[in-house]
Amino acid sequence: MKLTVLSGKGGTGKTTVSVNMALSLSKIQLLDADVEEPNCKYFIGTDFDKEEKIYRKVPKVDQEKCTACRKCVDFCEYNALAMMIDEVLVFPEICHSCGGCKRICPVNAINEVDRELGNLKHGVNKYGIDFWQGELNIGEESSVPVIEELKEKTNPNKNVIIDAQPGTTCPTIEAAADSDYCILVTEPTPFGLSDLKLASELMDELKIPHGVIINRAEEDSDYIIEDFCEERNINILLKIPFIRDFAHLYSNGIPFVIDYPTWKDEFKKVFKEIRGVLDEKDNGN
């Protein structure tokens, strides 16, 4: 089973849910797909045993061959190429690596060279969690290829939990796209509600079964989220209460199930519930 944990808004507790859930279950693979700011590592506590660099291709112009015909400059949809008098300049940061300029050049003056985009790192922690993280290099703009490479590491024999980037655009979609189920993490504030609406819209669009976990839950405020979920018929899987000690543990990179092990049972229940939803769906088909 492949589960993606996501949220419209950042800082709602995706990593908290991913890590605590991973620690509560067995045969788990955890993928940190929040490649702009990967943080699971602080909570998982593992030394990395493997690193793979990720490269992408960017054009390099052979000025000897170039006839300054401008065809590449006109072709590029991202304005990553520009004409300076009679020389083509390349802006590799904004290049999407589509390879079009190389194909379009009538005199074969464009070659492609590798540019490092990010890396993947692997480790197994002391509880046996098989952990991979993707990381985007600073100054690079495009997370998606890193997430694609990271997902290649998916082990089909394990229960896979993917910690996605917040939002509803390409990086989040790339992480969630072929998941069996998505957990939307939110908090009982107007911000949390507004961003949950966007995330659930995305789920409807992608047609992925999903449920909600309310983080920093407080009895007299949870209605903000509960009313919405009831109206949309979205299952609330769990509420993680607002406890200052949880926040403190988080700040030190300690998953709260370590200090409060009874919470493992709560995450096991959530997992069982998700499995039930998926089984029912399979039987229905």
Partner 1 sequence: MKKITVISGKGGTGKTTVVANLAYLAKDLVLADCDVDAPNLHLLLEPKVNKSEIFKSHKIALKDNDKCINCGTCYDVCRFNAVEPISYNIDGYKCEGCGVCVAMCPEDALSLKLLETGNIYQSTTEFGPMIHAHLNVGADNSGKLISEVREKAVEIGNKQDKELILIDGSPGIGCPVISSITGVDLVLFVTEPSKSGFSDLKRVAKVIKHFNIPALAVINKYDINEGISEEIEKYLIEEKIELVGKISFSSDVVDSLRNAKLIVQDDQENRISKELANIWHGIQNRINYN
Query: CA 113 to CA 35: how far, in whole Å?
Result: 23
Question: Which of 128, 156, 190, 284 forms a contact with partner 1 (CB under 8 A)?
Answer: 190
* Cβ at position 284, least distance to partner 1 in Å: 26
Closest CB 270 distance from partner 1, rounded Å:
22
Window 90-129: residues binding partner 1 (CB under 8 A): 96-100, 103-104
- Residue 76 per-residue DSSP state: -
Residue 165 interacting with partner 1 (CB under 8 A)? yes
How far apart CA 31 and CA 4 sit, in angstroms, is: 9
User: Closest distance between partner 1 and the C-beta of residue 234, in Å?
Assistant: 16
Shortest distance in whole angstroms from residue 285 CB to partner 1: 21
Alpha carbons 253 and 55: distance in angstroms, whole number: 30
* Residue 94 in tokens: 């904004």
β-pairing verdict for 130-136 and 28-32: parallel
Q: Rule CB under 8 A: is residue 73 a binding residue for partner 1?
A: no
Helix/strand/coil (H/E/C) assignment for every residue in 145-201: HHHHHHHCCCCCCCEEEEECCCCCCHHHHHHHCCCCEEEEEECCCHHHHHHHHHHHH
Nearer to partner 1, 15 or 119 (CB): 15
Residues forming the site for partner 1 (CB under 8 A): 8-12, 15, 36-37, 39, 42, 75, 77-78, 96-100, 103-104, 136, 138-143, 148, 165-171, 173, 177, 188-191, 194-195, 198, 201-202, 205-206, 221, 224, 244, 247-248, 250-253
